Amino acid sequence: MKTKGEAFAGLSVAMVTPFSDGEVDYKIFREQIEFQIAAGTKCLVPVGTTGESPTLSHDEQDRVVAFVVEAVAGRVKVMPGTGSNSTAEALRLTKFAEKIGADAALQVAPYYNKPTQQGFYEHFKRLAEETGLPQCIYNIPGRTGKNIEPETIIRLAELENIALVKEATGSLDQASQIISSTNLTVLSGDDSLTLPLMAIGGRGVISVVGNIVPKDMIALVAAMDKGDLAEAQRWHRKLFPLCRDMLGLSTNPIPIKAAMKMLGRDPGELRLPMTPLEDAGTTRLKKSLAEYGLL
């Protein structure tokens, strides 16, 4: 059965935001975009968690989204993060993304203010009904402080523009309940859980490690799509240590930015309160990249 957001099945990459001297570096950004398009990535996801969106001003966020849409020029899909813990602000960001030609919007669960389940429902309902973009609900309670319960997502699935879920709860039970009860396109929000999530009906991943090895993540997803479990397991075993380190050595996007720099694709500095990877993490990351065959 085709899922609601099937056009976004496959590999989406949660892009880092390159910074130089405190400003967004659009030259490097364009190089990263071309790298992803050449690799065959299905969709680019700027200004999400990996893109350090909490440190971008609203004006910067608008400019980044407009730049990515312009640079892509329809060659792949673009699904910017337009979420906020203010419904009015999320609506403004989403309307802007729609106006300049984005293909969908990634909507993180409102964070810090911890809505009730009804509050979650009303928030996403307003975004779905007052904009025309397909909406991807981003459920990451480890960052937002509260889970969007599967019953709430199942209710939201009845709305036309609620099309996708970025599943980052770590719960295959929750994902199974959503997949078995809706026709939403469920994408993994954790690289290392891509294979198990696809095994229960997930349709791909919004990836961090895809910033450095997009072709390998595409190969894993393609193997699962074809039903070649042995090939998918081979890719999973190869990718797992790298996926683990990208989210385990420090807070995302600290490790992925360090890895990109080591591989000659320097995305520049981090913005406070993000700080560089510490020495012990750097040593371990170099070892992981060398064992993978990248260094």
Q: Choose the catalytic residue: 42, 77, 121, 138.
A: 138
d(CA 229, CA 226) in angstroms, rounded, equals 8
As given in the structure block, the two tokens for residue 88 are 């009015």
C-beta of residue 165 within 8 angstroms of C-beta of residue 185: yes
* Residue 292 a catalytic site member: no
C-beta of residue 133 within 8 angstroms of C-beta of residue 103: yes
So what's the pLDDT on residue 1? 64
Q: Is the full-model pTM beyond 0.85? A: yes
Map tokens 């999400």 to a residue: 48
d(CA 263, CA 286) in angstroms, rounded, equals 10
Q: Using alpha carbons only, what angle is made at residue 239 by residues 208 and 267, rounded to the nearest 5 degrees?
A: 35
3-state secondary structure of 88: helix
* Kind and range of the H or E run holding 45: strand 43-45
Whether the link from the prior residue into 273 is cis, omega within 30° of 0, is: yes
pLDDT tens-place values along the chain, 295 residues long: 699 999 999 999 999 999 999 999 999 999 999 999 999 999 999 999 999 999 999 999 999 999 999 999 999 999 999 999 999 999 999 999 999 999 999 999 999 999 999 999 999 999 999 999 999 999 999 999 999 999 999 999 999 999 999 999 999 999 999 999 999 999 999 999 999 999 999 999 999 999 999 999 999 999 999 999 999 999 999 999 999 999 999 999 999 999 999 999 999 999 999 999 999 999 999 999 999 999 9
| C-alpha dist (Å) from residue 151 to 76, 118, 136, 155, 189 | 32, 11, 16, 6, 19
So what's the pLDDT on residue 285? 97
C-beta of residue 8 within 8 angstroms of C-beta of residue 42: yes
C-beta of residue 81 within 8 angstroms of C-beta of residue 52: no
So what's the pLDDT on residue 197? 98
Rg (CA), the chain: 18
Q: Choose the catalytic residue: 166, 238, 257, 287.
A: 166
Domains parsed from the chain with CATH numbers: 6-227 (3.20.20.70)
Pairing mode of beta strands 162-167, 204-207:
unpaired
d(CA 247, CA 25) in angstroms, rounded, equals 24
* Residue 26 a catalytic site member: no
How far is residue 232 CA from its own chain's centroid?
21
> Which amino acid is residue 154, in one-letter code?
I
Residue-by-residue DSSP string for 77-89: EE--B---SSHHH
d(CA 37, CA 270) in angstroms, rounded, equals 24
